[in-house]
Structure 1
């Protein structure tokens, strides 16, 4: 859910490297969770957990979302994917930072069986080419996820974050970046080689059916605004519900969750505080996985004395 937003674009740009709706009047069919955060002194902020894929139902945003956005001065997102997509030079430079530059390829750094299994999954989806061999394992893990996603009915072009940014642009609502693509890629690159290989190895053990069921369960729960199901699925996706994990798996998941969730959640919560203190009205919309749990944005804000209530 939080990994595939820019992969289709990356795969297109890999080919370059190897060679050198919201205005509809229809009734919305989605009801995503939203919250209002209050500081007790009149300051407030709106929260929304997003999902980075979707289907045609995302063509029409629900009234509670558009009315909230119309009342906002800013939309704050992880980063403006539309603006990033137009910055080809920056994307190419960021992608190069996730490649081996010492003359080696991924085959020199991971188990041969994992490599062959991942390569086959990518070949079956038509996304493999030899240029990908120069990418580090965590990128291969995401390429494998993209290969699986291409065989589902859900597409990144219908992602909630994209729909919100398009609506903001249409209504001249300024979009704020909490992070950047470069920051997210830096965090992925900082994962240890052992963690990267473990995550790739775990991905190739996933079947298309398993991936499809998991992704669709997440999306349908998001569409329905089913908090209980979403919290359960997010915890499972993060490995937090595993009662038995070997030392390798636990170390890998601990590092991944610390860098990709815990630290980022803290920074997102700090951004929310700054927006509230600044006096402007902001909708902060980031991946749903960042909302829940003891280290999630909601709990972090509540621990600082803010009141967080579901918003209808």
Structure 2
């Protein structure tokens, strides 16, 4: 599965907001997995599984505890089983920490409008002027098919367009659902139990980050989303099944090895590879450092916090598990 999509599905919770059609001002509800009739989008017949995505307990020398849980930002009914399984651990904690509270955000129109303004073209130009005509037409047709064209859609920049195209691809070509995202389910359970929901980052941080790259990168993302739909549903289910399994070695190896940016095969130029590597580093490696610092803040506060962020933030040499271990904390995998 293409690394560009993996990084976002396992790191950027803002994707849920776009996929749900909350922030786009779209003409219809954009729900991932609409059963479009495309053969690759037909639901997988799956028995109720024994699901246990990876969970860790982090402790310091004073005995303070924090739990690390890696999420995926889409899902199906199996995430309900995950929630019930992990709920005793969640509910034993003082608070839930997430990338940011997407449930509260979906009700905060003022903040959404403030975040959106940076994506508006203010010089009178239109997004089609920044795209090859064929790419614009393909994008437009997909957004129409997904019923996700926002009002005044031509006035948004390429960064916004890339988010819309990605969410539309997920809507049309997959049967996994943004409304079943693990992040959303955890927040709803915390709200039901009266638990505080803490932000690790913020909506403004993620929106600004997603708007911080060169136009060439957004064009590459748009083209990548449009060109890689044929096996998307099966690839996404493979990723999802690995996450559900809790098999750390297999899952982390999959994440580490799934990098399609290979100039030797002619898929990308050297310049494009450099852009992709910068994109991946800023969305994953750099953010992990800030997340590590927030985890340490929560630990030293004395609260027991259930810290749930995208699963890729946990993995391998740049992940939170290793970063917190290297910082002197005890990190143990938990069976539940």
Q: Which interval holds the TM-score relative to the shorter structure?
A: 0.7 to 0.9
Q: Hey, what's the Cα distance between the residues in 2 that align with 1:63 and 1:93?
A: 36
Distance 1:80 1:113 in 2: 38
Aligned pair 1:256/2:279, yes or no? yes
Distance in structure 2 (CA, Å) of the matches to 1:188 and 1:298:
25
- The answer for the alignment partner of 1:181 in structure 2 is 203
State the 1:113 CA deviation.
Answer: 2.5
How many pairs were matched up?
300
Distance 2:218 2:253 in 1: 25
Distance across 2 between alignment mates of 1:108 and 1:243: 29
Task: State the partner residue of 2:16.
Answer: 5
Could you tell me which runs of 5 or more consecutive residues in structure 1 were left unpaired when the two chains were aligned: 17-26
Matched ranges for 1:111-260 at <5 A: 111-128=132-149, 131-151=152-172, 152-207=174-229, 209-235=230-256, 239=259, 242=262, 244=264, 245-260=268-283
CA contact (8 A) 2:291 2:320 kept: yes
**SS of residue in 1 equivalent to 2:307:** strand
RMSD: 2.3
Is the contact made by 1:13 and 1:92 (CA closer than 8 Å) also made in structure 2?
Answer: no
The 2-side partners of 1:129 and 1:252 are apart by 28
Structure 1 residue matching 2:318: 3-state secondary structure: coil
Counterpart residue number, 2:121: 100
Q: CA deviation at 1:188?
A: 0.7
Q: What is the Cα deviation at residue 291 of structure 1?
A: 1.0
1-side partners of 2:164 and 2:153: how far apart? Answer: 9
State the SS of the aligned residue for 1:42: coil
SS at match of 2:21: helix
Equivalent pair of 1:262/1:296 in contact (CA under 8 Å): yes
Find the partner of 2:316 among 293, 298, 302.
293
| Counterpart Cα distance in 2 of 1:220 and 1:57 | 10
- C-alpha deviations, 1:223-268, integer Å up to 9, x for none? 222323432443466x377474521221211221122112211100
Matched position secondary structure for 1:100: coil
Does the 8 Å CA contact 2:263/2:270 hold for their aligned counterparts?
no
Kept in 2: contact 1:53–1:159 (CA 8 A): yes
> Residue 90 of structure 1: which of 111, 127, 133 is its match?
111
Distance change >3 Å, CA 63–CA 150, structure 1 → 2? closer
Using structure 2 for the length normalisation, give the TM-score.
0.82
Relative to structure 1, the CA distance from residue 257 to residue 12 in structure 2 (aligned partners, 3 Å threshold; closer, same or farther) is closer
Q: How does the TM-score come out when normalised to structure 1?
A: 0.88
Looking at structure 2, the residues matched to 121 and 63 of structure 1 have their Cα atoms a distance apart, in angstroms, of 36
